[in-house]
Amino acid sequence: MNTKTLFKRLAENNTFLISSHQNIDGDGLGSMLAINSMLRKIGKKTCMLYDGSIPYFYRFLPEIENIIFYEEYEQGNSCCDWDVFVVVDCSNPERLGRVDQFRKKVPIVVNIDHHPDNHGYGTMNYTDYTCPSSSLMIYQLVKEADIALDNNLATYIMTGFITDTGGFQFVELESGLLSIMNELIKAGASVATIMRYVFKYRRFEALKLLGKALDNMKYSAQYHYALTYLTRQDFIECNSLEEDVEGIVDYGLHISDAEISVFLKEIDSGLFKVSLRSQGRINVLPIAHHFGGGGHFKAAGFKLAGNLPQVISRVNDFLKNYLENKNTTLIPQSETYPVTE
């Protein structure tokens, strides 16, 4: 679906519920806030509803306090009856958590996303896996609507773009993207502020947790991948929060010839969340698909049951077999890819 058709359909309705995936990142948040701002600017009634917690380092985003948590909704702080349910940056509706129930209750579901394995679950699907971030897809809608960018809207869009490209490390900043960045900066988005909060603004406990992850890291020089892990005990010892792991998976790629970084986080007894990152042309999405997960070509993830030695063994065995055949693991050179799940 193109932006012209989508905006026409959005303009025909009046009330909108907006949400994004659990374990939300800067693109999910930026896209939620951006589409909310755009719809309000054309006189629509909106409600942002989210099932989960929001990491503290995104609290700099304007009006983020207007997002309603699902627990508040359950306690009677409902928004209204909605004409349209807008889901942003979410490839699989199961990742909406309890908010997913509204797909069956709201007549129109709009799916806006840039993940290559998007399930196409909307009654209207606006998807583009070549776009560096979902927030830039919202930018295209804003331009279609002929809405002037202000400080807040520009900040939301820029935050999504910066987050999902790892601070521009994993995207070629060609003239078109630079032109968009210039427009966002002129409207008030501060690249320096966003970069600081997204990548540098961390609690002391987060740094202690990082230290444990680095101590646990192993590297396969033969297969060019790093693997590290954190257990629930590590979190207890460091007095850490779930969001304190943000960015840990990227450290394996600091090794000079590393092509893949793997991070195992114990989320419950006998259950691990596995995050994958790659650089160069290595495609990690098939690895995630093999274990029932998803994501992007250079950033993907999945959950795996078992104790720590079992999970490490299963991941190592599959990775080594997968990397034996480089012809099937490469990303086409013509593609552009973001770097968060």
Q: For residue 331, what pLDDT is reported? A: 64
- Model confidence pTM above 0.85: yes
State the fold for domain 204-328: Diaminopimelate Epimerase; Chain A, domain 1 (3.10.310)
Per-residue pLDDT of the chain (341 residues; tens, 9 = 90+): 889 999 999 999 999 999 999 999 999 999 999 999 999 999 999 999 999 999 999 999 999 999 999 998 888 755 568 999 999 999 999 999 999 999 999 999 999 999 999 999 999 999 999 999 999 999 999 999 999 999 999 999 999 999 999 898 878 888 999 999 999 999 999 999 999 999 999 999 999 999 999 999 999 999 999 999 999 999 999 999 999 999 999 999 999 999 999 999 999 999 999 999 998 889 999 999 999 999 888 899 999 999 999 999 999 999 999 998 765 666 655 444 454 55
Segments making up each domain of the chain, as ranges: 3-200, 204-328
Which pairs from 307-311 meet CB under 8 Å and 24+ separation? Answer: 307/270, 308/229, 308/231, 308/264, 308/266, 308/272, 311/264, 311/272, 311/274
Cβ neighbours of residue 121 closer than 8 Å, sequence gap 6 or more = 92, 93, 103, 109, 111
- 204-328: same fold as 3-200? no
- Helix, strand, coil in percent for the chain, rounding step 5: 45, 20, 35
Q: What is the DSSP letter of 222?
A: T
267: helix, coil or strand? strand
Q: Which two tokens stand for residue 206?
A: 């987060």
CA 300 centroid distance within chain:
10
In CATH, the number for domain 3-200 is: 3.90.1640.10
The answer to whether 62 and 152 are in contact (CB under 8 A) is yes
The answer to whether 89 and 27 are in contact (CB under 8 A) is yes
Q: Which two tokens stand for residue 268?
A: 């419950």
Please state, in angstroms and rounded to a whole number, the distance separating the CA atoms of residues 28 and 46: 17
Amino acid at 58: Y
| φ and ψ at residue 51, rounded to 5 degrees | -105, 95
Q: For residue 334, what pLDDT is reported? A: 44
Q: What is the DSSP letter of 149?
A: P
Q: For residue 225, what pLDDT is reported? A: 97
